[in-house]
Amino acid sequence: MALVTSTEMFKKAYEGGYAVGAFNVNNMEIVQGITEAAREEKAPLILQVSKGARAYANHTYLVKLVEAAVIECPEIPIVLHLDHGPDFETCKSCIDGGFTSVMIDGSSHSFEDNIALTRKVVEYAHAHGVVVEGELGTLAGVEDDVKVSAADSSYTRPEEVEEFVEKTGVDSLAIAIGTSHGAYKFTPEQCTRNEKGILVPPPLRFDILEEVSRRLPGFPIVLHGSSSVPQNFVKMINENGGKMPDAVGIPEEQLRKAASMSVCKINIDSDLRLAMTGTIREFFVQHPDKFDPREYLKPARANIKEMVRHKIVDVLGCNGKA
Ligand code: G3H
Ligand code: 13P
Ligand code: ZN
């Protein structure tokens, strides 16, 4: 199967009450770990590339790695998506360069400017058979070189979504309902401790999601910043020389609930980074004499694969849907 757009994927996900995982890729091992899990679980898949990933690994290398995954996994549909496209030029470059989906992130602009920029990208993308994700509302956290403080973040205003979708022609919409980018999503002060002493963040704003869905029936919604920051990997990092205290993420039950609603795409990146970093740190502590990258990248790739399998089966519910 060649690379596909997300149109059919989202239609099936919406009707089936599950979400497709969108995982960020930066190198070969990450591509392999993700795609092996998706192939074994027969799950549709979105591989996404950020501006930072293109700067790190080079556009052509990333496209060719994803094309290799398509050849290796002919049974599953795969989308190649630009994550957080910052401007028209970056989106155009990805559309011209083999991507099947782009995000134009106009969320830092005024409502009117966001509409104008998104509309421009949609016109170019649709003329080339590529789909577009837009964003309304601002997530807190770090993504590429942009850091948004909690004070500067803002929930999506449901009363704006119909006008935005109608005027831009976007194919999916990312909204802000309390998720945020990175591993440090919540401070301990923002959380409460449950009966097991575990820090629990404030619940996502499902009321906003419900109102958005009511206003946009059948329309695919996207959640960014959806890593759950698994504490076993935070512990593994900290026990092997790292310093990541108080990293708290989004509870997986809440993501499962969102996936059963109108959320058709859930973005996960930080959890894969934690799995990779924890595994490599532990390897070096256990094998201080080793220096062959293949030896430490192999268990890191295996743990990325198991993390993605867990997300597909236990969080997204998209196993067997390819
Ligand atoms: O939301 C952003 C993704 O986690 C990508 O991160 O910009 O560091 O590649 P990056
Ligand atoms: P996390 O940092 O929660 O993994 O979010 C990733 C993301 O939203 C990519 O666009
Ligand atoms: Zn994001």
pLDDT of residue 49: 98
Tens digits of pLDDT across the chain (322 residues): 899 999 999 999 999 999 999 999 999 999 999 999 999 999 999 999 999 999 999 999 999 999 999 999 999 999 999 999 999 999 999 999 999 999 999 999 999 999 999 999 999 999 999 999 999 998 877 666 667 777 667 999 999 999 999 999 999 999 999 999 999 998 888 899 989 888 889 999 999 999 999 999 999 999 999 999 999 999 999 999 999 988 899 999 999 999 999 999 999 999 999 999 999 999 999 999 999 999 999 999 999 999 999 999 999 999 999 9
pLDDT of residue 203: 93
Question: Of the residues 46, 102, 133, 143, which should be mutated to test ligand 2's pocket, given the most ligand atoms within 8 Å of the CB?
Answer: 143
Look at residue 1 and tell me if it is in a domain.
no
Determine whether the shortest distance from the Cβ of 84 to ligand 1 is under 6 A.
Answer: yes
What integer pLDDT is reported at residue 139 of this predicted model?
87
CATH number of domain containing 210: 3.20.20.70
Q: How many domains does the chain have?
A: 1
Ligand 3 centre and the CA of 267: distance in Å? 6
- Supply the pTM of this predicted model: 0.96
Q: Does any domain span residue 2?
A: no
What domain range includes position 275? 7-316
Q: Look at residue 209 and tell me if it is in a domain.
A: yes
Torsion over CA: 36, 41, 46, 49 (sign): negative
